[in-house]
Structure 1
Amino acid sequence: MKRAIVQLGEFLTLKRGYDLPEHARLPGEIPVVSSSGITGTHKEARVAGPGVVTGRYGTLGEVFYIDEPFWPLNTALYVQDFKGNHRRFVSYFLKWVLNGTESNKAAVPGVNRNDLHARKVGVPEDVGEQASIASTLSAYDDLIENNRRRIALLEQAARLLYKEWFVHLRFPGHEHTPIIDGVPEGWEKKPLGTVAPLKYGKALKNDDRVPGPFPVYGSSGIVGTHAKALVPGPTIIVGRKGNVGSLYWSPDDCHPIDTVYYIDSENSSLFLYYALQQMTFISTDVAVPGLNRDFAHSRSLLVADQKILRLFEDTASPLHQQMELLKRQNASLAKARDLLLPKLMNGELA
C-alpha cells in the first residue's frame, strides 16, 4: 500500500508532560503516566483520553495507549494533536517509529522532541486503513490484557490462600490443633536467615549480555535476557537496591544481577514467596536506598509443620502453573504482533 513521506511533526504533535512530584499527588482515579507507563494516580487530569504517551527521559522507545483522562509526567512526551489520525493507530505507529530509539544526551539520557518532529516517516493517509491496522494489532493486545487479568486473579487466589492458612491460621485441621502462645502446635517462629539465606546477585552490564533464553532479573523485575543462567530455578528474587524489597518468583533458570538478592532453589518455595510478601523490608541505607542483608535475615518467619507446607505447595502449584502458561502465551502473542507491526506499517501487508 502507498505511503506518504512526511515529517513526523506533520502527522502529529508531541508535547512534554507536566511536573507532579509524588508528595503533591492527591488520592484519585486518574492514571499518572511516566516514561515507563502508569506509575500512580491523582485526582486531576491534564489530558483528555484516549491518548498516547512515550518516554522523554529514562525509559525510551516504549509507547503507551491510555484509554481515559490522564496526567503525563515531565519524563514523558504525549501526543497533543493527532491531526485527525486514528488514535490507536498512532500508538502503534509511534512504537514502530521509535523502535530502537536511543538517547542523544551524553550526561542525561533523553530524546529531543524537535528531532522527532523532523524525522521523515512513511504514513498511510487513509484513516480507514489506519483503523484496520489498529484493529488487527489491538486484537493481539486485547488477548494479552485478558491473560494479564487472569494471571492477576490467579496470583490473588494464591495470596488469599496463604493469608487464610498462615495469617488467620484457618489451615486444614486448625480446629483440632492447639494454639500455644499464638503459634499452632508443631509450628515455629524462625529468623529468615536460618530458613532461607539471601545470596547476592552478580553484575551483568547491558553490554555484556548475550540475548538468550534466560531472564535477567533486577530490582524492577525482568530487565533483559542472557545466554547463560547464574542460578537454577525455581528461585525467589528480592530487591536489594532501587526497588527495595521487591519480590519475584522465577520458575526457570535465571540471572539475578547485583541490585538483588536471591534465594536458591533448594530453599525456594511458594510458601516462602508469599510469606516474604507479608514482611516490610525498610531501606536501611540513607545515602543509597538498600536492603541490609543482616537486617533481612533477622526478620521473624512463622514456619508451619511439613504436612501443611506440602499441602500448601500442592494447592498453590497448579495456580502458578496456569500463570506460567498464560505468560508464555502472552510472549508468543507479543512476538507475533511485533512481527506484523513493521509489515503493516510499511504497506507490505494490507
Structure 2
Amino acid sequence: MTTQTKTTWRKVKLGEIGEIITGKTPLTREPKNFGGYFPFITIPDLKDQRFILKTERTISDIGAQKMKNLKLPANAVVMSCLATVGETGITTKESFTNQQINSIICDPQSVDYRFVYYVFRRLKRRLQKYDGSVYTNISKSKFADTEIEIPSIGDQKRIADILCVFDDKIELNNKISRTLEQIAQAIFKEWFVNFKFPGHEKVKMVDSELGKIPEGWEAKSWGELESESLAGDWGDNTESTEAPRKAYILRGTDIPALQAGSKGECPIRYLSDDSLERRKLKPGDIVIEISGGSKGQPTGRSIFITQEILNRFELPLVCTSFCRSVRGNGILAPILMYLHLFRLYQTKKIWNYQLQSTGISNFQYGQFNKYERLVIPDKIIQEKIADTLYSYIEYGHLNENQKLAALRDLLLPRLMRGELRV
C-alpha cells in the first residue's frame, strides 16, 4: 500500500448504487408468521456478527409470502436506523428485517457489498448527526439520499480484501475461544456431572441430597463457597472530590466481547477511593449479570476474570451495578464455580432464578445463593483438573483480537478516504 491523492473517487447516493428496503414486523398476534427458514434480523442480531448467521427469531413461509416485497437476498448490507443507529451486518441467505433497519441490495456492477459494509461502519457518526442524538430515526428517504464516496469497483474489492483479512482472523480467533470453552465445559460435565473422572470405577457412590455422588464428595450451597460477593458500582460521569478514581466499568453487554479477546465498549467512569479498592476485579473473580435480561434472554451471563483480561486495560476494571462480583473461599476452585454457573446458563436452568418485571428480567441472587447446590469434589480431584480447565479458559482469552481490531480501525478511515493506494 502507498499513499495517494484521492482523484479517482466519486460521490454517489446510497439509492444510486442499489435498492433500499426498510423492513417490517409481521403481525405478532399471528404465530404462523414466525418460526421458519428465513432469518428475521433485529438490532440485537447485529451485535458481533459481520455475516449474519444466527437470529433470535425466524419468519415462516406464510410470513415470508406476506412480506415478499421486503425479502433480502444474500449479501445485502443492513444498518439499524431507528432507536440505535449504526449497527450493521451482511445477510448470508434470504432474510427479512424489522422496521428499525434499512438495507441495501447492492448493484454488483457499481459496488462490492463488502466495501459497502465497511462504508456503513464509518457512517454511524454521520447519520447520528441528523438530529444530534445516538437515539434517532433515519428514514428510508434520508438513508437513500446519504452521500458516500467510492473508487472503482476494482479498488473497492482490493480495499475490502485488506479489511476482511483482519475480520476473518478475528472471527477465527473467536471460534477457537468458543471451542476451548466448549472443551472445558465437556470435561467439567464428564467429571462433575456424570462423575466419569479418572479412577471413578474404584470409587463407591453414596446417597446425598443431590442423588448418588462419589464417596468423599459433599454438597454445599453457592453461598457457602463465597468469601466475598459485592454488587458493582456504575460510578460518576465526571471526576469529583467524592469520586476521583478512574476505572473501566464492565457491563453485561460487554461480557461476550471480553470473552472473545477484546475490551468491548467498557466506559470509563469515576469512583470513590473506597469503592474502587473494594471492587476492582482480580484474577479468579467471577462476574455475574444480575439485571437487564429480557423475555427471551435471561440474566445470569457470567465471565471468569483472568490476568489476560485485566492486561487489556490500562486502568482498574470494576463491574457495573447491574452485575455482581464473586470471590471464592477456597472450598471449591473458582474455575469450577464458574463452569457450574456457565453450565446453568447454557442449559437454561438459570431461568429458575429469574424474576420478570416491567419487561426486564432480574437474577434473584439471594435465592440462588441459598438454594443452588453444588457437588464438591475432594481436593485431590480438584487439584488434578482445576489448572487444566483454567488454562483452557485463559488461553481462550489470550488472543490478538484487540490488536487486530485496532490495526483494522487504523487502516479503515485512511482506506475509505482514499489516502492509501491498494
- TM-score, reference length from structure 2: 0.73
Q: Amino acid of the residue matched to residue 272 of structure 1?
A: M
In the other structure, the counterpart of 1:269 is 334
SS at match of 2:398: helix
Query: Aligned to 2:12, which of 3, 6, 11?
Result: 6
Query: After the TM superposition, which residues 221-232 of structure 1 pair with which residues of structure 2 at under 5 Å, given as runs?
Result: 221=255, 222-226=264-268, 230-232=279-281
Which runs of 5 or more residues in structure 1 are unaligned? none
In 2, distance between residues paired with 1:25 and 1:164?
Answer: 41
Provide Cα deviations, 1:27-68, integer angstroms capped at 9, x if missing partner.
Answer: 555443222315325265732101211212344322212333
Preserved contact between residue 189 and residue 302 of structure 1 (Cα < 8 Å)? yes
Deviates more, 1:114-123 or 1:235-244: 114-123
Q: Name the Cα RMSD after superposition.
A: 3.1
Shift, 1:348, TM fit: 0.2
* 2:303 paired with 1:248: yes
* 2:159 paired with 1:139: no
* 2:87 paired with 1:62: yes
In the other structure, the counterpart of 2:78 is 53
In the other structure, the counterpart of 2:376 is 303
Query: Aligned to 1:73, which of 73, 90, 98?
Result: 98
SS at match of 1:149: helix
Shift, 1:257, TM fit: 0.6
Q: Amino acid of the residue matched to residue 276 of structure 1?
A: L
In 2, distance between residues paired with 1:61 and 1:107?
Answer: 12
Q: 1:151 to 1:232 in 2, by over 3 A?
A: same
What is the aligned-residue identity percentage? Answer: 23
Preserved contact between residue 219 and residue 242 of structure 1 (Cα < 8 Å)? no
In the other structure, the counterpart of 1:349 is 420
In 2, distance between residues paired with 1:334 and 1:151?
Answer: 16
Query: Aligned to 1:294, which of 332, 357, 366?
Result: 366
Preserved contact between residue 292 and residue 362 of structure 2 (Cα < 8 Å)? yes
* 2:391 paired with 1:330: no
Q: Amino acid of the residue matched to residue 41 of structure 2?
A: V
Preserved contact between residue 287 and residue 303 of structure 2 (Cα < 8 Å)? yes
Shift, 1:249, TM fit: 2.2
> Matched residue pairs, number?
346
In 2, distance between residues paired with 1:98 and 1:305?
Answer: 54
In the other structure, the counterpart of 1:217 is 251
SS at match of 2:266: strand
In 2, distance between residues paired with 1:186 and 1:296?
Answer: 25
* 2:263 paired with 1:192: no
In 2, distance between residues paired with 1:62 and 1:219?
Answer: 15
Q: Amino acid of the residue matched to residue 218 of structure 1?
A: G
Query: Aligned to 2:187, which of 161, 169, 172?
Result: 161
SS at match of 2:55: strand
SS at match of 2:197: coil
Deviates more, 1:143-152 or 1:18-27: 18-27
Q: Amino acid of the residue matched to residue 321 of structure 2?
A: D
Deviates more, 1:192-201 or 1:88-97: 192-201
Q: 1:128 to 1:148 in 2, by over 3 A?
A: same
Which runs of 5 or more residues in structure 2 are unaligned? 1-5, 47-53, 65-70, 256-263, 271-275, 294-298, 311-316
Shift, 1:309, TM fit: 1.8
Shift, 1:159, TM fit: 0.5
Preserved contact between residue 75 and residue 91 of structure 2 (Cα < 8 Å)? yes
In the other structure, the counterpart of 2:155 is 129
In 1, distance between residues paired with 2:410 and 2:173?
Answer: 20
In 2, distance between residues paired with 1:346 and 1:180?
Answer: 70
Query: Aligned to 2:201, which of 165, 175, 178?
Result: 175
In 2, distance between residues paired with 1:109 and 1:215?
Answer: 22
SS at match of 1:301: strand
Deviates more, 1:241-250 or 1:263-272: 263-272
Shift, 1:219, TM fit: 5.2
In the other structure, the counterpart of 1:33 is 41
Q: Amino acid of the residue matched to residue 281 of structure 1?
A: I
Preserved contact between residue 103 and residue 111 of structure 1 (Cα < 8 Å)? no
Q: 1:10 to 1:313 in 2, by over 3 A?
A: same
In 2, distance between residues paired with 1:322 and 1:29?
Answer: 36
Query: After the TM superposition, which residues 311-326 of structure 1 pair with which residues of structure 2 at under 5 Å, given as runs?
Result: 311-326=384-399
